[in-house]
């Protein structure tokens, strides 16, 4: 059976070809089968094919419905006119009644070519389950096609129940999918850590020695230990970020400082306790409304703050929103600039905005061409892939500045930046060291 009839426009799909692609007879084809076939060819060809496919299904006593054909024509016109979004197309496919919803809870289905064997297996099982429910009359695809909100909610709930119920072999689909997703995320994150670490070490090799300012470290450690010995901010904020308590922090000054500084870039702790919040209020380290964000017992007038993060949680969320590129840009600028380098939140955002990883790599390659290969005869950065970092076409400098406000507040407490928001000798020595630890742990 051929792929379809050739036309002046392209390849016109025929009903028999749709059946071949789906792997089942015309008389039992469902809407998803037809939709996937239509999306497999250019929209103009699919539009030209609609009448023939419809006639073929009608002849096979499987006419589908007017609502489906109307929705198919509408989405294909939208695609042909370059007005359809990914959401439009996938929403139409889901409305066939047997295509799983793209995002269900915390799980996101990958595109077919990107799915793991486990995702492919679970997706196929879910499609089979939805086909059974459709045949049983529990899914109304016409209502889905016309955007009926209740029908869409019922359709999602049906999938959620399947995903959270054990299979005959005992596996729970949602659990095994999320476990795999977590493993993949951790592997990707570890790879990004390694790449960013390699790039930062290359920058530090160019900068040269950064001496440890012993007197500054002792003074900062003395101040930090005093802060940590009492409840509330600023000491308990840093301790909470580190995941340590007062007794478990290293006794050595440099180790304690680096432990706290590392946690600023890579938090390991939990938000402040209610006792610490109360102490912070008393010490006026934060405004009342900031500390009440997310409190479970908000008063009647606090409805607008429901669901907001408290200050500690907001700080952790902000730091976790900064990615490898952001930190690499900032550390490169501070390490290269040395003590006195501007380090306010606005300055850090500007360093991210102006950072050109490719340009830095080209400069390093030029230096290597002049000086020859390194001691091992290898280019340390030859495997660094700048494409792993985010595209900054839509860079939001103000948002990045807002994230770094929490960072600079803690750097100030650590003594890494001074009262004028400039890098100190202690910060010049310690912040790159802490960043390397964050990317190694």
Q: How far apart are CA 395 and CA 98, in angstroms?
A: 39
The dihedrals phi and psi of 6, each to the nearest 5 degrees, come to -70, 135
Q: How far apart are CA 78 and CA 72, in angstroms?
A: 10
Do 240 and 115 share a structural domain?
no
pLDDT at 200: 95
At which of 128, 143, 178 does a domain end? 178
Q: How far apart are CA 329 and CA 351, in angstroms?
A: 6
Tokens 């102006």 found at: 354
pLDDT at 304: 39
Do 333 and 240 share a structural domain?
yes
Q: How far apart are CA 257 and CA 213, in angstroms?
A: 13
Tokens 């995002």 found at: 103
Do 295 and 406 share a structural domain?
yes
Do 267 and 375 share a structural domain?
yes
Residues 6+ apart with CB under 8 A from 374: 368, 380
Q: Would you state the structure tokens that stand for residue 315, as one six-digit string?
A: 């700080």
What is residue 112's DSSP assignment?
A: G
The number of CA neighbours under 13 Å toward the Cβ of 3 is: 8
Q: How many domains does the chain have?
A: 2
Q: Would you state the structure tokens that stand for residue 342, as one six-digit string?
A: 């501007």
Sign of the four-CA dihedral 330, 332, 333, 335: positive
Do 14 and 109 share a structural domain?
yes
Q: CA-based diameter of the chain, in Å?
A: 90
Q: Would you state the structure tokens that stand for residue 182, as one six-digit string?
A: 């977590």
Do 364 and 420 share a structural domain?
yes
Do 220 and 120 share a structural domain?
no
Identify any residues that bridge with 104 across adjacent strands, giving them in sequence order.
107
**Domain residues for 354?**
184-438
Q: How far apart are CA 63 and CA 31, in angstroms?
A: 10
Contact by Cβ (8 Å): 311, 293? yes
Do 169 and 189 share a structural domain?
no
Residues 6+ apart with CB under 8 A from 328: 196, 199, 200, 355, 357, 389
At which of 178, 193, 228 does a domain end? 178
pLDDT at 216: 96
Do 190 and 61 share a structural domain?
no
Do 213 and 168 share a structural domain?
no
Cα distances (angstroms) measured from residue 235 to each of 223, 293, 420:
9, 21, 21
pLDDT at 243: 66
Cite the beta strand spans of 217-321 per DSSP E: none
Q: How far apart are CA 145 and CA 132, in angstroms?
A: 19
Q: What is the dihedral of CA 404, 410, 416, 417, to 10 degrees?
A: 60
Collapsing DSSP to helix, strand or coil, 103 comes out as strand
Do 127 and 67 share a structural domain?
yes
pLDDT means per 10 residues, the chain with 441 residues, are 43 88 95 96 95 96 96 96 94 96 92 94 97 96 94 96 96 96 88 93 95 96 83 70 70 92 79 44 39 38 42 76 93 96 96 79 50 45 41 71 91 94 97 94 76
Give the DSSP per-residue string, 348-410.
HHHHHHH--HHHHHHHHHHHHHHH-S-TTSS-TTTT--GGGSPP-TT--HHHHHHHHHHHHHH
Residues 6+ apart with CB under 8 A from 342: 421, 422, 423
Do 265 and 162 share a structural domain?
no
Identify any residues that bridge with 108 across adjacent strands, giving them in sequence order.
103
At which of 163, 178, 193 does a domain end? 178
């Amino acid at each position: 059976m051929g792929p379809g009839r050739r036309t002046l426009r392209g390849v016109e799909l025929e009903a028999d070809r749709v059946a071949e692609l789906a792997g089942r007879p015309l008389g039992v084809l469902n809407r998803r089968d037809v939709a996937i076939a239509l999306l497999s060819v250019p929209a103009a060809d699919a539009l030209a094919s609609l009448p023939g496919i419809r006639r073929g299904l009608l002849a096979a006593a499987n006419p589908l419905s007017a609502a489906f054909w109307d929705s198919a024509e509408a989405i294909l016109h939208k695609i042909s006119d370059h007005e359809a979004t990914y959401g439009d197309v996938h929403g139409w496919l889901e409305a066939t009644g047997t295509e799983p919803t793209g995002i269900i809870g915390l799980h996101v289905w990958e595109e077919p070519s990107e799915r793991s064997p486990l995702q492919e297996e679970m997706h196929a099982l879910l499609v089979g389950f939805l086909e059974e429910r459709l045949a049983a009359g529990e899914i109304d695809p016409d209502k889905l096609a016309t955007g009926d909100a209740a029908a869409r909610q019922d359709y999602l709930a049906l999938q959620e129940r399947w995903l959270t119920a054990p299979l005959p072999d005992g596996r729970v689909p949602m659990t095994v999918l999320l476990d795999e997703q977590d493993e993949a995320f951790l592997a990707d994150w570890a790879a990004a850590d390694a790449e960013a670490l390699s790039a930062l070490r290359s920058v530090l090799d160019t900068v040269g020695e950064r001496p440890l300012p012993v007197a500054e470290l002792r003074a900062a450690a003395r101040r930090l230990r005093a802060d940590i010995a009492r409840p509330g901010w600023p000491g308990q904020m840093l301790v909470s970020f580190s995941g340590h308590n007062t007794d478990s922090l290293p006794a050595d000054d440099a180790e304690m400082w680096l432990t706290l500084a590392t946690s600023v870039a890579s938090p390991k702790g939990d938000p402040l306790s209610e006792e610490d919040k109360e102490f912070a209020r008393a010490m006026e380290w934060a405004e009342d409304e900031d500390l009440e964000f997310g409190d479970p017992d908000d008063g009647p007038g606090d409805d607008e703050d429901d669901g907001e993060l408290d200050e500690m949680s907001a700080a952790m969320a902000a730091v976790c929103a900064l990615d490898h590129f952001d930190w690499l840009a900032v550390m490169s600028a501070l390490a290269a600039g040395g003590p006195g380098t501007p380090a306010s939140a606005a300055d850090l955002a500007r360093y991210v905005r102006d950072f050109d990883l490719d340009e830095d790599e080209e400069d390093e390659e030029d230096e290597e061409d002049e000086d020859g290969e390194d001691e091992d005869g290898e280019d340390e950065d030859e495997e660094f892939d700048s494409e792993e970092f985010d595209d900054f076409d839509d860079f939001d400098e103000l948002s990045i500045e807002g994230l770094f406000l929490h960072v600079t507040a803690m750097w100030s407490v650590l003594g890494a930046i001074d009262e004028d928001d400039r890098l100190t000798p202690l910060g010049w020595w310690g912040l790159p060291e802490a960043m390397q630890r964050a990317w190694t742990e």
